[in-house]
Structure 1
């Protein structure tokens, strides 16, 4: 096993991480909640500078999500545009256009590839033996709260502790989110990709949250870029929700599902309206309660993390960082007493975000309607009318 430790120990080659060969197509597959958005933002922001140093970013956006979902035969986020093969083909065309230059593609949704055949097809289409796989890992105890609130942003209605019970104590551990362990049983994820490309073409980076710039420096070195070229990009829209914000959204999800409103409406008004505006305009303060993981779940995650570290360590892949971090038992957040309360300003911004999203999709009336005031119309009927109008606008688009 080749082990490069970026913090407490030095690798056998004197502490130097060897850059990948020129012409490599570096495929960063995540998984989710391991620093993917921060590295994608930094790479996208620096794409012109990288090109001057011989490294291409083929995607036209920060994250080519639709293309990767199509490649992995996965559905999109609830209510979003359905990914098609054409999304993937367009990305492949841009990858091929890079010629013999080094290039980098990053998406955590590659971790959702369902089988070896899909992985083999993706690797073959991206360049076969030119492809090198990069996996970034964090401790499960730090991933779980972030992943739960992300599932809530896609319509999940289950509370955090109940969700943990299902993921950690209720075999076969595939409800309500079968994607969780496909993504986050990290040893099996590494084994699936190494089984297709070979262990020598897989690098695992263990992210150390104490070193916020460490992941950027690792990417620079692997790609042969000058130190300091990749810089953090502030992104309020990517922040995690507080416990109160998540609980507000989770209860809204219950009402949304109970009234059988369409998924397209959820995408436009809730996720990309209320939640996005709230995250962009409201910064959590020291008094806001974070999502706290109970001790039993932290210990269960650490035990699984130790198994993951042992199997990855014996897999023959290149390891950058300290695998012992994957079995860390420090509790990520402490649950305070009392019920979480959302600030009135935060609730107002969320409501405004939904109204602004609705206002951005005006609908022309095709037939006369009997005039009624808002006060003469039931709240349920108002919601249904608003949903109908937004859907009509979406279909016109």
Structure 2
């Protein structure tokens, strides 16, 4: 009898990970009837999220923490009676490879398949900036954020895919194509499992104008105002923040890495550029401010 199968979904961030995790969580029994087990996600540090943050944290800590966590997962999987274990945590798309290498002993017990959605870096970085302004204390404008060495490093996909492919077969998808088919359908077709699709979008990014306000609130230490500001700007339609010049600069920066990804992993990003002005967003658009102020007055 061969090894059981492990499907490890590693993200990346802002590629529909929350939506897919919620689908997998909500359909644990549906999956189990098809011999797949989506491991429980109700352990710290984020038991309210439908992802395996407990394994991610244990991998970062290593040692006894990692050994204990993997024992829990292995026993839970054994009791499920399934032949495929499914785990999902977008933190594994971060370039902390020296830490993640400690998972080797756990992964060796399985026939490993790594599932990874990637996204063209200009769109990814815009979305990350929005996310960090919304949920973290990011106070920089998009230009400074985009060319932070840490952000650039985590947006290079070739090292990420090379690392994880050392543990087993890796399946790479272009997020723009996944969006067209749907997260559940793409996952199901990839791994021969039936999942119901949901049209509900998760973890939506604020508009570019809203993100600019959120960054300023973070700088001023007024984070308590962010929920109301997000509601006030919810009808704002400005999607992009980079501007044409900065966007092209980013695409040029990643050109070599993306060519290597296309050659090795078969994913080639489309080249169409969005309609926008040449400069990044640095000041709020007047119309957006007026509309937000009007809505703000209606909010309690």
TM-score tier (shorter): 0.7 to 0.9
Q: Secondary structure at the match of 2:171?
A: strand
Q: Distance in 2 between matches of 1:113 and 1:50?
A: 30
Q: Secondary structure at the match of 1:245?
A: helix
Mark the CA change 1:208 to 1:149 in structure 2 (over 3 Å): closer, same or farther. Answer: closer
Q: Give the drift of 1:46.
A: 2.0
Unaligned runs of 5+ in 2: 42-48
Mark the CA change 1:159 to 1:87 in structure 2 (over 3 Å): closer, same or farther. Answer: farther
Q: Give the drift of 1:144.
A: 1.5
Matched residue, 2:250: 301
CA RMSD for the aligned pairs? 3.5
**2:54 counterpart of 1:72:** no
For the Cα contact (< 8 Å) 2:130–2:206, is it kept in 1? yes
Q: Distance in 1 between matches of 2:7 and 2:94?
A: 18
For the Cα contact (< 8 Å) 2:116–2:171, is it kept in 1? yes
Q: Which of 86, 89, 101 is equivalent to 1:104?
A: 86
Q: Secondary structure at the match of 2:234?
A: coil
**2:268 counterpart of 1:323:** yes
Q: Give the drift of 1:31.
A: 1.3
Q: Secondary structure at the match of 1:231?
A: coil
Q: Distance in 1 between matches of 2:78 and 2:152?
A: 33
For the Cα contact (< 8 Å) 1:133–1:202, is it kept in 2? yes
Q: Which of 47, 51, 73 is equivalent to 1:63?
A: 51
Greater C-alpha Rg: 1
**2:155 counterpart of 1:187:** no
Deviations 1:45-93 (A, max 9, x none): 222211111111113351233441332349xxxxxxxxx7699455555
Mark the CA change 1:193 to 1:212 in structure 2 (over 3 Å): closer, same or farther. Answer: same
1:1-397 alignment runs, 5 A limit: 23-60=4-41, 61-73=49-61, 88=69, 90-91=72-73, 93-98=75-80, 101-112=83-94, 114-116=96-98, 118-152=99-133, 153-164=135-146, 167=147, 173-174=148-149, 178=150, 180-194=151-165, 196-197=166-167, 201-209=169-177, 211-226=179-194, 229-232=195-198, 234-235=200-201, 238-256=203-221, 274-275=226-227, 284-285=234-235, 287-315=236-264, 317=265, 319=266, 322-325=267-270, 328-331=271-274, 338-339=285-286, 340-341=288-289, 343-344=292-293, 347=296
Unaligned runs of 5+ in 1: 1-20, 75-83, 168-172, 258-265, 353-397
Q: Secondary structure at the match of 2:221?
A: helix
Q: Secondary structure at the match of 2:259?
A: helix
Q: Give the drift of 1:296.
A: 1.8
- TM-score, with structure 1 as normaliser: 0.61
Deviations 1:235-284 (A, max 9, x none): 45x11011232222212211229xxxxxxxx6xx57xxx53x776x6783
Q: Distance in 2 between matches of 1:97 and 1:307?
A: 46
